[in-house]
A = this chain, B = another copy of it.
């Protein structure tokens, strides 16, 4: 039913996700892509409101967990990159000297940022003495200041965050919210007395992320990234990946444990209780508008978006169904209903435009309003209105108790979205077909991998083994599931016994 109707309206079916997604972000008036710089969209009011509601949830979590909001300059002087480079050299030296395997990573990627930044070398008609770059993220800017703010252990933990625009010169194809060049970015940066306290912060971050994902009703995988996919200078990285409808995964958040590696590069130290200077252990936690991209992608259907009630700019839209007679009475009742819902704290919009109800339904379905209330003369006569949740169904509700019923209906929409998300994830997750060594000793798959699937496997091999599996499957290692297998299994490559559960997927 839905598909032909959608087609009639010019909406690509959701099965054709690569056509549906870009169509929908503009049709729902989230962004306008016609701004004349590739990968930089204009946020329209409806999209920006949804994003700010997501930000609001994040602000609330930051307040709950005692983080303080700061705001750092966008421009970073070139010389601060040198400290980052020294960090990289140190890690390289550690590798050469075989000191600590946890420090053997990321030598290339750490300077990789330099290839992805926008440079400001001119102002007005003059060439600047010191070139500056637009922050791709704020480690260098912040860790230049932290040593000035931290004196003793009493100043720790330092828990800060900011929401700012960051920039990355993407050479890959851009896509609204998912791969953009100006990023609406959230970044939390913390400093701790020791590794354990930093590790506790990582746990707190993952709990925050879980609460946000619950509000956004998103199906996620939480995985500790493999060494080669760890953030520059990090001890380890945990990625939070959303399972998208096409079975690809989208990293929407990442959490990094830096140990004291950045602190050593930037001299972020404190005086401990004995009066001795110690390096801080640091963490970061990053998210972006990819959260909104995931919401659009996961929940939408052939008729448009479906926004989780927690972030819907309008949670309820009221559509009057007017006849020639009694129009004023119906409008008056709609206004009263709106006041009633707003008093109950619901973001409510009364659509009193001079259009047919069907046109209004269409508009709000595209925009994903989770609950529609219809009210016509006959409903009014019977003291009722009609409830139409965006996830399907239709029922009558007495006008008197409409607010309470609407609240319950919104909870039900969120539950339904979570159920669908969970089903999507279950559908995508599969065990990896068995691997076997061919006659020539080469690893082969006993069965080819199918598109749209995410594979789970017991794995305890080397980086080289992992590389081989990636090549065989054409998929990427997401890393180790935060929850390993409860019972040991045989590693898919080496056959050794292991509880490590590893995921493979095609990523955005």
Binding site for B on A (CB under 8 A): 32, 34-37, 40-45, 48-49, 52, 68-75, 77, 79-80, 114-125, 132, 134, 141, 144-145, 148-149, 160, 164-165, 167, 169, 171, 182, 184
Is there contact, CB below 8 Å, between B117 and A124? yes
State how many angstroms separate the Cβ of A36 from the closest Cβ of chain B: 6
State how many angstroms separate the Cβ of A352 from the closest Cβ of chain B: 14
State how many angstroms separate the Cβ of A345 from the closest Cβ of chain B: 16
State how many angstroms separate the Cβ of A342 from the closest Cβ of chain B: 13
A77 / chain B contacts, CB cutoff of 8 Å: 36-37
Q: A121 to B122: give the CA distance in the assembly, Å.
A: 8
Is there contact, CB below 8 Å, between B117 and A120? no
State how many angstroms separate the Cβ of A136 from the closest Cβ of chain B: 11
Using A36-B80, A120-B119, A122-B119 as known contacts, say yes or no to A182 and B75 having CB atoms under 8 A apart: yes
Q: Which residue of B lies closest to A184 (CB)?
A: B71
Is there contact, CB below 8 Å, between A68 and B40? no
Using A36-B144, A70-B44 as known contacts, say yes or no to A115 and B124 having CB atoms under 8 A apart: yes
Q: A49 to B59: give the CA distance in the assembly, Å.
A: 12
Selected contact of A40 from candidates B73, B121, B167, B171, CB within 8 Å: B73
* Interchain residue pairs with CB less than 8 A apart (26): A35-B72, A35-B141, A36-B77, A36-B144, A37-B73, A37-B75, A37-B77, A41-B73, A42-B72, A42-B73, A45-B68, A49-B69, A71-B184, A74-B74, A75-B182, A115-B124, A115-B125, A116-B123, A117-B123, A118-B122, A118-B123, A119-B120, A119-B122, A124-B169, A164-B165, A165-B165
State how many angstroms separate the Cβ of A192 from the closest Cβ of chain B: 18
Selected contact of A43 from candidates B71, B116, B149, B184, CB within 8 Å: B71
A124 / chain B contacts, CB cutoff of 8 Å: 114-117, 169, 171
A42 / chain B contacts, CB cutoff of 8 Å: 70-73, 145
Q: A124 to B134: give the CA distance in the assembly, Å.
A: 11
Number of copies of this protein chain within its complex? 2
- Which of A34, A37, A114, A124 has the most chain B CB atoms closer than 10 A to its own CB? A124
Q: A277 to B379: give the CA distance in the assembly, Å.
A: 43
Q: A120 to B37: give the CA distance in the assembly, Å.
A: 13
A167 / chain B contacts, CB cutoff of 8 Å: 74
Is there contact, CB below 8 Å, between A145 and B32? yes
A117 / chain B contacts, CB cutoff of 8 Å: 123-124
Is there contact, CB below 8 Å, between A45 and B160? yes
> What are the 8 A-B residue pairs with the smallest beta carbon separation, nearest first?
A45-B68, A123-B169, A43-B71, A40-B73, A119-B122, A115-B124, A118-B123, A118-B120
Is there contact, CB below 8 Å, between A148 and B70? no
State how many angstroms separate the Cβ of A315 from the closest Cβ of chain B: 17
Q: A184 to B45: give the CA distance in the assembly, Å.
A: 20
Is there contact, CB below 8 Å, between A35 and B73? yes
Is there contact, CB below 8 Å, between B35 and A48? no
A182 / chain B contacts, CB cutoff of 8 Å: 73-75
A115 / chain B contacts, CB cutoff of 8 Å: 124-125
Q: A61 to B465: give the CA distance in the assembly, Å.
A: 60
A44 / chain B contacts, CB cutoff of 8 Å: 70
Is there contact, CB below 8 Å, between A119 and B123? yes
Is there contact, CB below 8 Å, between A165 and B74? yes
State how many angstroms separate the Cβ of A453 from the closest Cβ of chain B: 35
State how many angstroms separate the Cβ of A436 from the closest Cβ of chain B: 43
State how many angstroms separate the Cβ of A428 from the closest Cβ of chain B: 33
Selected contact of A134 from candidates B114, B120, B149, B160, CB within 8 Å: B120
Q: Which residue of B lies closest to A80 (CB)?
A: B36
A36 / chain B contacts, CB cutoff of 8 Å: 77, 79-80, 144
State how many angstroms separate the Cβ of A267 from the closest Cβ of chain B: 14
State how many angstroms separate the Cβ of A291 from the closest Cβ of chain B: 16
State how many angstroms separate the Cβ of A228 from the closest Cβ of chain B: 22
Selected contact of A70 from candidates B45, B114, B125, B141, CB within 8 Å: B45
State how many angstroms separate the Cβ of A359 from the closest Cβ of chain B: 14
Q: A157 to B149: give the CA distance in the assembly, Å.
A: 48
State how many angstroms separate the Cβ of A45 from the closest Cβ of chain B: 4
Is there contact, CB below 8 Å, between B144 and A35? yes
Q: A164 to B165: give the CA distance in the assembly, Å.
A: 9
A145 / chain B contacts, CB cutoff of 8 Å: 32, 34-35, 42
- Which of A71, A114, A132, A134 has the most chain B CB atoms closer than 10 A to its own CB? A71
Q: A42 to B149: give the CA distance in the assembly, Å.
A: 12
A123 / chain B contacts, CB cutoff of 8 Å: 116-119, 169
Q: Which residue of B lies closest to A68 (CB)?
A: B45
Q: A69 to B79: give the CA distance in the assembly, Å.
A: 37
Q: A145 to B117: give the CA distance in the assembly, Å.
A: 26
Q: A118 to B184: give the CA distance in the assembly, Å.
A: 21
